[in-house]
Every structure is written in structure tokens, then in C-alpha cells.
Structure 1
Amino acid sequence: MEQTLRSDSFSATNVSTSSTSLVLRALTTLSVWHRRIVSRNELARLDARMLADAGITEAQRYEELQKPFWR
């Protein structure tokens, strides 16, 4: 049995919604990456007393700072 493609399945609305969704996911990902970079830079600037106040060891800080921004 032969099937035909309906023209409304490829409408501009479907393409627009798909593109918008892709753009939103990309922006969300970039936002998360930026927050990680900023927070790790702040973590790198903390002195020993501030780390102790936050309950973070030097080893934990080192481990966090070694991660790439996408993780």
C-alpha cells in the first residue's frame, strides 16, 4: 500500500516550532555552561577560611576546578 505525505505535516508552523525548540535548548545549554564557568572562577578565588566556612576541602575544590565547563 502506498502512502502519500500530507503537505500540512511540513508546514511552516512545525518548522518554526522545531527551530524555536532547538534555539531554546542551545541557549539553555550555553547558560548552564556560563554559570559553571563563573561559579568555578569564584570557587578558585576563595581562600582557605572561606572554603572552610562553605564546608569545601582543598581536594574537593581541586576536583571541581579540573572539570571541563560542559560537565
Structure 2
Amino acid sequence: MHLPRYLARLPSWPVSPARGHSDQLLAGLLRLQALCQRWRQNARTRRQLAQLDPRLLGDAGIGFAERQAELDKPCWRD
């Protein structure tokens, strides 16, 4: 699992030295929340992709191999 790479790609907020650790903690929690939301979205869209019939896959221009490759990914991979 490449968790540090995902955390590094999330937006960060500037932390003022006067506020210190509480702002850093809040920023970290916000980044974690955004990460969890992205993972849930990945899982949701892959479930929807799994339910598409062959005609709809063809209309979307998605082949069976592409579909299977996407479905084989864990939720934390984009």
C-alpha cells in the first residue's frame, strides 16, 4: 500500500506558527477525510462499472479487458 504517496498528493493548508500543533492536527484530519472520500468514490464507481452490461460498456468505449483491469484495483488505487 502506498499511503504516503496518496497523502502527499492531497492539498495541504498553510499552518501558522502561532497556532501550532492544533492546526497541524486539523489539517491532517482534513487530508485524511479527503483521502477516505476519494477511496469511497473509487469503490462506488467500480461497483457501478461492474454492473454495466456489454452494450453499455461498448457505448462508453470500454473493453472487457479495461473493465476487468479497473475492477481488479483496490479502492486506494486511482
Corresponding residue to 1:44 among 45, 50, 68: 50
Q: Equivalents in 1 of 2:73, 2:67: separation in Å? A: 10
Shift of 1:18: 0.1
Q: Equivalents in 2 of 1:33, 1:56: separation in Å? A: 22
**Superposed counterparts of 1:1-71, under 5 Å:** 13-71=19-77
Q: Equivalents in 2 of 1:69, 1:35: separation in Å? A: 8
Paired-residue identity, %: 38
Matched residue type, 1:33 = W
Q: Which has the higher helix share?
A: 1
- The RMSD of aligned alpha carbons is 1.1
What TM-score comes out, normalization by structure 1 length?
A: 0.81
**Aligned-partner SS, 2:23:** helix
Q: Equivalents in 1 of 2:21, 2:70: separation in Å? A: 40
Deviation beyond 3 Å, 4+ runs, structure 1: none
Q: What is the count of residue pairs matched by the alignment?
A: 61
What TM-score comes out, normalization by structure 2 length?
A: 0.74
Q: Equivalents in 2 of 1:50, 1:14: separation in Å? A: 52
| Consecutive unaligned residues in structure 1, runs of 5 or more | 1-8
